[in-house]
Structure 1
Amino acid sequence: MAWFRASSYIGKLAIKRTLSHSGSYAIRSQIFHLRSRCFRSTVFNPKQKMSPVPRSVPLSRLADNFLDGTSSVYLEELQRAWEADPNSVDESWDNFFRNFIGQASGPAGVSGQTIQESMRLMLLVRGYQVNGHLKSKLDPLGLEEREVPDELDPAFYGFTESDLDREFFIGVWSMSGFLSENRPVQTLRSILTRLEQSYCGSIGYEFMHIEEREKCNWLREKIETPTPMHYNKERRVLILDRLMWSTQFESFLATKMKTAKRFGLEGGETLIPGMKEMFDRAADLGVECICVGMSHRGRLNVLGNVFRKPLRQIFSEFDKNSKFEDESGLYTGTGDVKYHLGTSYDRPTRGGKRIHLSLVANPSHLEAVDPVVIGKTRAKQYFSDDLDRTKNMAVLIHGDGSFAGQGVVYETLHLSALPNYTTGGTIHVVVNNQVAFTTDPRAGRSSQYCTDVAKALNAPIFHVNGDDIEAVVHVCELAAQWRQTFHSDVVVDIVCYRRFGHNEIDEPFFTQPNMYKVIQKHPSALEIYKTKLLESGEVTEEDIDRMHKKVDSILNEEFMSSKDYVQQRRDWLSTNWRGFKSPEQLSRIRNTGFGTYVIDELFFKPWGLSSDGEPVMVKI
């Protein structure tokens, strides 16, 4: 990436020199709209004092390397020399001009494109790749105010309204996406439109901090596709069904268990369809077992809808009069609670495969389970001879406050690439409800994003608006592909909200009154997606009503069955671990005494008496 940074520096100098040749300039508020984006034009003032024209560069310097160029005059001299004889310049400059000048002037319709314009356009694309996430629409509540960087303004690079319909070529060797050599000629307007769709929509990508070009190119190919992502009708109906299960599960618990603590997922229900799609994609890519760790927020929903823990069993745990086959060894004697428990399940996937899922119990607080999950995954890889670390994968689900604030997260992240600890990459999913218990983000961390700690590992970070279910599904699938391709960590940051208090009984208006005024009126992700599919004509009101009644019927049936449900040992995995000694057996007192002959050997035999009758140690 060094050449790219150097060319960025050269390009900025070239822009500055070129603009100074025509007179000083000032940015004024002359604005016109390109769809939903504002374009600020640069207006020149020729009456002001012009900068002196720099002297020509000696041709003896034309053999300098590509990374040594520092002025537009130097570039022009190099360009003229290269056009006369490509062998007269350094090989690095020959490659540079061959891609920017030779290729750009070839296709029909590209006329008058100069080296400076090519570099300006390259810098504009790079500006979106680096800073596009700052303009993306991540907050579903619309409360976050962020300043859009100048690097996303075409006028910053000297482009004006008259350039919008000009055709440009911006191919660069060894690059992908918009900068690839095989990209067709496009107008500036179409390039800007696609850049906005790729980097400033419901997904904000952070990946330009990664040093390996191969990884950046891979992501650019996935992000900068010629057309936006689109799911067919079958996939959309499946996504709707999964979102409906997630949403109605929480609504059902809120109705039936009004005074119980459950730490619901309302406001972040899209996590469930996202996890399911992630697991389906991982199974298609060869994963056979996934170990999951998470805190209490949304755990019951994950247990019921992802891990298929029997709903009647979950409902029975809310009943204080629930029946037990044998309390010995059950969680009821430990003081633990239902939203700390784990389970395992062999889940069928959308692609027709089966994948083993294991949710690790987290009886401590928040992120304490992180290193346990990594250790369990490493052990599974060891005992299954998973040398490539592609069959066993770890997934950690975090909260935004704990991901930025708890040291165990950073410590676990830094184990990820160590030879004796690596698991071949962990997928981190942050349920970012924009409040840590009662703490606002601006009072809980110094960085802009809660996920900035992951940049230390060169991990890509995908920020996504939690109200856009298709965007959530897309980044979850992309995270699974990244992990299986590069065997390193990746972060998915689902920006959502918490509809109720910390534990449903709390009153959030005391601590976040402005936020909860907006939340009260905000539609759920399910309502937003139903409206979208109805408008597209892919589902009807009758279809939605039929799906809703089916889910509601199953929930009510399971609730009635929970009243007679008897919890058994197999519910807590005891049958799966037959032969292992229980804690009671391991802690049983054993005989620690020894025979008198040992005392004779140790205490009497080594001693004798001196001539004075004093005890002395003798050689045995």
Structure 2
Amino acid sequence: MGTAYDVDAKLQELSAQDWSSAGDVKYHLGTSNVKIYPDLGSVTLTLEANPSHLETVGPVALGRVRAKQYYLGDAPETKKRVMPVILHGDASFAGQGVVYEAMQLAKVEDFDVGGTIHVIVNNQVGFTTDPKSSRSTLYCSDLGKAFNIPILHCNGDDPVAVVRAFEMAAEYRQEWGDDVIIDVVCYRRFGHNESDNPEFTQPLLYNDIKSHRRTEEIMAAKLIEDGHASPAELEQIKSKVWDVFEKDYQNAGSYKPSPATEWVATKWEGVRSPNQLAQSKPTGLDLELLRKIGDKLCEVPEGFKLHSALKRILKAKKDRIVAGEGMDWGTAEALAFGSLLLEGNHVRITGQDVQRGTFSHRHCIVHDQATADKHNFLNSLQLGPQETFVAQNSILSEYAVLGYELGYSYENPNALVIWEAQFGDFANTAQVMFDQFISAGEHKWMQQSALTMLLPHGYDGQGAEHSSCRLERFLQMSDDDEDDVPDYAEAGSGKQIQKANWQVMNLTTPANYFHAIRQQLHREFRKPLVIAAPKALLRHKDCTSSFEDMGPDSEFQRVIPERDPEIANNPDQVEKLIFCTGKIYYELLAERRRLGLTNVAIVTVEMIAPFPFDKVRDEMQKYSKVDRGDGVHPGSITWCQEEPKNMGAWAYVRPRMVCVARESLDLDLVVRYVGRRASAAVATGVGKIHTLEQEAVVSDALTGTVSWQERSRASSLLGHQT
């Protein structure tokens, strides 16, 4: 690729700075370089950074290819200008399911890249496993038969055949826009990674390989036999090659490598690294522009036969737009999307049901009931120049589709790329992408991304597979230190987010969601964003926002303080302080209203990670009359959640709340926990049990107390206290 990696410089950087990329082994790094060929001109070669989780990088590379094609004009001809080539091992191609998922995207609208060249380096062994144990098919490439694509088998000892296979594959792909598989049958002379002793497990095979002539010798003998070259000519060629190697080896000692950013596959001009000062732009919008966008969200073409239920939905939306209040979640999202498009930012959202929305809340694309023609509201704003909005339902896959969208997001910092899970629980089938790429990609490879992931989350009695996006997993992967309170001015300025590896949110208002997704592109840095998206709140009567909440003087709120003015303005009357996040807030609110309580303040933590130390400190200071406990047992500062105790945000927020109290208030705090008891399953599937649990959580948070002489929890349905 023509780039170099300076390990010594990386070590110096790690010692000198408080934030840096950790680096990675050289064979995991990505890069990009321009090569000049006499007969082709310039060709940009991009190598995607990748982990050792085999085949995971495939869909990431395809997503970047599709993005490149889009920005080149998104026409059929542009697909010929960008060609994906994916290298596979024989065992991984046959064994890893993500290969099938990625290949299944080949002909899907808005995922089609015009064909991929799949090159299988067929070493006839998977680490130490023989082919008969690593697959059930005759050939490692037989997966291609499911897609009816050409498979070219060639002998790795015949370089001419290999070159012909590559040329044929490239020509076929360019002509027919289809995938091609090249199965290069070869071997590793010295076993796995060319340093592992293969004789332990393949003694007979490697006895044959020891006596097998090298490819160079076989090719030389063939050229001499056919009269294409003499031994002297071949020796001269070898000598020239060795001279080049020797010269480069001697020059390596004085070589001055390019900056580390050479290893970033795509350069993002103007995007700041975590060590550079970055600015943010306001996310609030002019009220008149909000109304204009809102009006367009309610219009369909003349003669378009809309479903009767959608007519009622659009009528209600229009009424809210006119009133400037009562905006629900879907409307706030569409307003944010529309505003970003008008600012020149491409917006793309994919997932299994994103056009309608799993919970029938989005309807960004509607269908004519007579012709099945589609209308895309956000591509029909007619309010001036705008970028394109893509909303595409995907195949029933999380692993490959999430990786694809990550690759798409890598190409351009000025695009909002969103992947939405059907239910947040299903994101666990894409865990490798979260672990290896999204949470750690910037730290390992200096690769920033603003990929936004919407993971529907909330306990509604739907059972263990439809309740939780597993917030605890994303919080565990967050890299802010629980004992390191950042400078409070820094936390408020956004520098804390800039240094973090990603953001994790569980939001409670449509307006805060509006600001959260707009700020993804309104900062001079990019961070992945995980949102525990709502289900019940999509149509909750109290979960609405006004245009004023999205107007010029509004912004994203990391923490939303007590919202009842009577309680917020009389902090000395407050005896209980409850911190929570997400949907449980509205259940606490409803019960507090029913009981007529004015001595309980409820604060929602909207951005859980990186933790809003400064805002939590402010709330603890404000309600100074709340019992802090005795340093051994909790008082009345409570964390309330609907998830089990070993899940949700509790394990993450608890030490950070303790740290805030210790470092800022000189207080040895024991936080009171109110939530479900620890559980192996995420949630019960029995409706009555769910209701009993939910009622117990809400009741104990608002009115419960713990008598340490009698019991450590108010109910067997709840978790134990410290």
**What band does the TM-score fall into relative to the shorter chain?**
0.3 to 0.5
**Normalising to structure 2: TM-score of the pair?**
0.38
Find the structure with the greater CA-based Rg. 1
The TM-score normalised by the length of structure 1 is 0.44
Structure with more of its chain in helix, by fraction: 1
Answer 1 or 2: higher relative contact order, Cα 8 Å, separation at least 6: 1
